[in-house]
Copies of this chain bind each other. A is one copy, B any other.
């Protein structure tokens, strides 16, 4: 997606260790118009893959929420964000999976209330980054536990050097990403 590639080139900041900071439009400040257009590309790409009826779009709090919400809206689906911490309102029973976040350097549990994922659901998993695939794998385990069908995975930015796409191969679901970034001795490279 050329518009996204240009935003990453213009605003992304390589802060070392393979981490690019895109907090001016993706994960602290969020550009709603860009988010809507990214969600439309994801929606249309899944249609082109033959993925049509979707009932749930699943992400992990926090930074996947804006894109997941807009993709869910376009599919007429409900959006679910897996919780990472307990709150007093979490009185139900939950699917739980462990994920290790590289940017935060911590391992966390992802939790989804069992009321919201059922065996008849058709699910897309959405997140901001496809890097090592750890969060996405954990989300896929939640879907698997519920018996729902995983119909596809989409992320805004892919880091092919971290191998996440290979990790996700076993899931046998189409994977869509909107921009790929890689780093070498010349710095940051961005492509569609």
Whether the pair A103, B116 counts as a contact (CB closer than 8 A) is: no
Complex contacts, A73 vs chain B, CB 8 Å = 32-33, 35-36
Q: How many residues on A have C-beta within 8 angstroms of the other chain's C-beta atoms?
A: 44
Partner of A88, one of B35, B62, B88, B103: B103
Whether the pair A116, B29 counts as a contact (CB closer than 8 A) is: yes
8 A-B pairs besides A19-B89, A21-B89, A62-B65 with CB distance below 8 A are A15-B89, A23-B89, A30-B78, A30-B80, A32-B79, A61-B61, A65-B66, A66-B66
Complex contacts, A162 vs chain B, CB 8 Å = none
8 A Cβ contacts from A108-127 to B? 112-113, 115-116
